[in-house]
Amino acid sequence: MESLTSAISVQVDAYDKEIATNILKKLGLNMSTYVNMAIKQLINKDGVPFEIVNPKHSRELLDALEEGAEIEKEIKAGKRVGYRNANEMLRSILDD
């Protein structure tokens, strides 16, 4: 039986492609071989062959969210002025 092939085209970030290509080169592989391997694993596992999870938030983001929660508490307690939008804030600044 004859084996038929079909081309696929995907768009990836240029920097990511460069890094991936360099890693594959060190492993003695090329992008086409890797994509074929990934597709075979997808078929063999009947699903994505690696864990897909939400990314972990950076410490910086977690700190900013915590600070935002504290600011919100202060606004509700009347210890700080809050604004619903930028225009409201600008009016307050110009009125001072």
Q: What is the pLDDT of residues 49-95, one digit of tens each?
A: 998 888 889 999 999 999 999 999 999 999 998 888 999 999 999 98
pLDDT mean over 27-35: 96
Mean pLDDT of the chain: 93
Sign for the pseudo-dihedral over CA of 73, 76, 79, 83 = positive
How far is residue 36's CA from residue 42's CA, in Å, rounded to a whole number?
10
| Residue 76 Rama label (left phi>0; alpha psi -120 to 50; beta) | alpha
